[in-house]
Chain A
Amino acid sequence: MGYLAKFRVWRGDNEGGGLQDYAVEVNEGEVVLDIVHRLQATQTPDLAVRWNCKAGKCGSCSAEVNGRPRLMCMTRMSTFTEDEVITVTPMRTFPVIRDLVTDVSYNYEKARMVPSFAPPADLEPGDYRMAQIDVERSQEFRKCIECFLCNNTCHAVRDHEENKTSFSGPRFLMRIAELDMHPLDTVDRRQVAVEEHGIGYCNITKCCTDVCPEHIAITDNAIIPLKERVADKKYDPLFSIASLFRRNKDDRTAPPAAKV
Chain B
Amino acid sequence: MATTGIEAPGRAQIGAKTLRTDRWWITPLVTFIALSGFLVYSTWRVLSNQYYFYEPYISVYYSPCLSNTCVPGSGFANTPISWWSLSPALLTAWIPLAFRFTCYYYRKSYYRAFWMSPPACAVAEPHGKYTGERRLPLIFNNVHRYAFYLGLLLNVVLTWDAIIAFRNHDGQWGHMGLGTLLLVANAACLWMYSLSCHSCRNAVGGRITHFSKHPVRYQMWTFVSKLNKKHMQWAWISLGTVVLADFYVYLLASGRVTDITFF
Contact across chains for A236 and B121 when beta carbons are under 8 A apart: no
18 contacts between A and B (CB under 8 A): A10-B12, A18-B13, A64-B122, A67-B20, A68-B20, A131-B211, A131-B212, A134-B210, A137-B211, A155-B125, A159-B125, A180-B209, A183-B209, A203-B107, A204-B111, A229-B206, A231-B145, A232-B202
- Whether A67 pairs with B125 at a CB distance below 8 angstroms is no
Expressed in whole angstroms, the Cα–Cα distance for A68 and B212 within the complex equals 41
Closest CB pairs A-B (n = 9) = A67-B19, A67-B20, A200-B134, A201-B132, A228-B202, A207-B121, A131-B212, A95-B10, A161-B8
Q: Complex formed: what's the CA distance from A198 to B228 in Å?
A: 25
CB proximity of B262 to chain A, nearest CB, Å: 40
Alpha-carbon separation in the docked complex, A207 to B134 (Å): 20
Query: Which of A69, A160, A203, A227 makes the CB contact (< 8 A) with B122?
Result: A69
Q: Which residue of B lies closest to A252 (CB)?
A: B209
Task: Report B207-235 residues with CB < 8 Å from chain A CB.
Answer: 207, 209-212, 218, 228-229
Q: Can you name the residue of chain B whose Cβ is closest to the Cβ of A92?
A: B6
Size of chain A's interface in residues, with CB distance under 8 A? 64
B98-154: which residues lie under 8 A (CB-CB) from chain A? 104, 107-108, 111-112, 117-118, 121-125, 127, 129-134, 138-139, 142-145
Question: Binding site of B, secondary structure by majority: helix, strand, loop or mixed?
Answer: loop
Give the B interface residue count (CB, 8 A): 54
Among B111, B121, B202, B212, residue most surrounded by chain A Cβ atoms (within 10 Å): B121
Known A-B contacts A89-B19, A161-B5; the reply to A205 vs B14 at CB < 8 A is no
Query: Is residue B199 within 8 Å, beta carbon to beta carbon, of the partner chain?
Result: yes
A205 CA to B131 CA in the complex, in Å?
14
Interface string of A104-131 (1 = CB under 8 A from B): 0000000000000000000000000001
Q: How distant is the Cα of A256 from the Cα of B210 in the complex, in angstroms?
A: 23
Which of A16, A96, A159 interacts with B130 by CB under 8 Å?
Answer: A159
Interface string of A132-146 (1 = CB under 8 A from B): 011001000000000
Asked if A153 contacts B6 (CB within 8 A), the reply is no
Contacts of B20 in A (CB 8 A): 66-68
In the assembled complex, the CB of A139 is this many whole angstroms from the nearest CB of chain B, namely 13
